[in-house]
Structure 1
Amino acid sequence: MSEYWVHPTAIVDEGARIGQDTKIWHFSHISSRTSIGSACSLGQNVYVASQVTIGNGVKIQNNVSVYEGVVLEDYVFCGPSMVFTNVRTPRSAFPRNTSNDYQKTVVKYGASIGANATVVCGVTIGEWALIAAGAVVNKDVLPYSLVAGVPARQIGWVCQCGLSLAFRDQVAACPECGRKYEMIEETVRIAKEV
């Protein structure tokens, strides 16, 4: 008996590794040589390519393709119909479809990507960052950053719970959960956990 759940319309190729309590919903396809952690949820029509690594507690909403070269760390959220790429200069006449051609994209612990956002390959999205819906990310995103727009630009900072932070004298406190943060040379880190 499997320790994870797969809808009857989904396809899981032989050789895929899937953790306990993960759910794979309607019409999804999980390729071989893929690693998916425990307690994940992959919505309807999700495609996970070969050699992708997905951590624990990851939520991937409907209509998302996670292509080779993408790493999703624990507790990442991918909103509906957001897009990953894995080749910077795609050409039909000059195929770039080998592992050597794919650029690595890393989405760090706890980061969230909004609906219909696009993440251009070769970037790292920092821990707990929040990418607004419809944004186009074409460069690295700092931890705890709030980015929006085309191309995406930083417009603020966010708490681990997702609310905006207002820094004064290099410190901020979340008005909802009470976590405290400090900023040192444009780097935000948690100063007090709740």
Structure 2
Amino acid sequence: MEHYQHPTAIVDEGAIIGKDSRIWHFVHVCSGARIGRRVSLGQNVFVAGRAVIGDGCKIQNNVSVYDNVTIEQDVFCGPSMVFTNVLNPRAHIERKAEYRHTLIKRGASLGANCTIVCGVTIGEFAFVGAGAVVNKNVPPYALVVGVPARQTGWISEFGERLALPINGTGKAICPHTGVQYILDGTLITRMESGR
């Protein structure tokens, strides 16, 4: 075995777990799930059979990654955050054919107790604040908070808030990395600096 698995964890036959991943207490990974390298699944995490988790992700305690959720590499899922896969669930109506695809792009952070309503895409390096309810797509590098989530700013790949308007034009430099970010309308472009 090339990954660590706590004795209380259940990994069904047919699940794919990448090298150097860590599966902690009371985790259940279903058959068919695909988990990349260097992934950490915290206590009480559930991963459905049609879920995909990329390399380097950290899924904190009490998170369920349901069918049709794809998480790209280096994503942080905070404690007890929630994914959904049906817009209008009913206990007495079978809706598995209506699952919507949710995509979390590379480097995004999903804060503790936030909810990601199915069918949305969270852009690269976006940051969803704790407790937010996301019901529409989030642009790359956007900072969103609240219920429903609304954009309040921009954030660097390092995780620092950028001094830029929500839309318009401007430039900002991450003080930790020296990387420059250029805003044009509602699109951020990352530019390497001379540092």
Report the CA distance between 1:93 and its aligned residue.
1.9
Report the CA distance between 1:29 and its aligned residue.
0.1
Q: Which residue of structure 1 lines up, in the alignment, with residue 173 of structure 2?
A: 173
The one-letter amino acid paired with 2:66 is Y
- Tell me, in whole angstroms, the C-alpha distance in 2 between the residues paired with 1:53 and 1:191: 30
Q: Which residue of structure 2 lines up, in the alignment, with residue 120 of structure 1?
A: 117
The one-letter amino acid paired with 1:170 is G
Q: Which residue of structure 2 lines up, in the alignment, with residue 188 of structure 1?
A: 188
Report the CA distance between 1:112 and its aligned residue.
0.2
Report the CA distance between 1:167 and its aligned residue.
2.5
* Percent of matched pairs sharing the same residue: 55
TM-score w.r.t. length of structure 1? 0.96
5+ residue gaps, structure 2, are none
- Tell me, in whole angstroms, the C-alpha distance in 1 between the residues paired with 2:179 and 2:37: 27
The one-letter amino acid paired with 2:160 is L
TM-score w.r.t. length of structure 2? 0.95
C-alpha offsets along residues 89-131 of structure 1, whole Å, 9 cap, x if unaligned?
10112121x2x21100000000000000000000000000000
Residue 90 (structure 2) pairs with residue 91 (structure 1)? yes
Task: Kindly indicate whether the alpha-carbon contact (under 8 Å) linking 2:40 and 2:59 is maintained by their aligned counterparts in 1.
Answer: yes
RMSD (Å) for aligned C-alpha atoms: 1.1
Report the CA distance between 1:185 and its aligned residue.
2.4
The one-letter amino acid paired with 2:101 is K
In structure 1, the residue corresponding to 2:125 is in which secondary structure? Answer: coil
- Tell me, in whole angstroms, the C-alpha distance in 2 between the residues paired with 1:72 and 1:116: 17
5+ residue gaps, structure 1, are none
Q: Which residue of structure 2 lines up, in the alignment, with residue 60 of structure 1?
A: 59
In structure 1, the residue corresponding to 2:153 is in which secondary structure? Answer: strand
The one-letter amino acid paired with 1:83 is V
In structure 1, the residue corresponding to 2:98 is in which secondary structure? Answer: coil
Report the CA distance between 1:184 and its aligned residue.
2.0
C-alpha offsets along residues 132-166 of structure 1, whole Å, 9 cap, x if unaligned?
00000000000000000000000000000101001
- Tell me, in whole angstroms, the C-alpha distance in 2 between the residues paired with 1:31 and 1:141: 29
Mapping 1:14-163, distance limit 5 Å:
14-96=13-95, 98=96, 100-163=97-160
Report the CA distance between 1:175 and its aligned residue.
2.0
Report the CA distance between 1:51 and its aligned residue.
1.1
- Tell me, in whole angstroms, the C-alpha distance in 1 between the residues paired with 2:91 and 2:52: 27
- Tell me, in whole angstroms, the C-alpha distance in 1 between the residues paired with 2:61 and 2:43: 5
* Count of equivalent residues: 191
Task: Kindly indicate whether the alpha-carbon contact (under 8 Å) linking 2:36 and 2:56 is maintained by their aligned counterparts in 1.
Answer: yes
Question: Which of 152, 158, 161 is the equivalent residue of 1:164?
Answer: 161
- Tell me, in whole angstroms, the C-alpha distance in 2 between the residues paired with 1:23 and 1:101: 32
- Tell me, in whole angstroms, the C-alpha distance in 2 between the residues paired with 1:149 and 1:176: 27
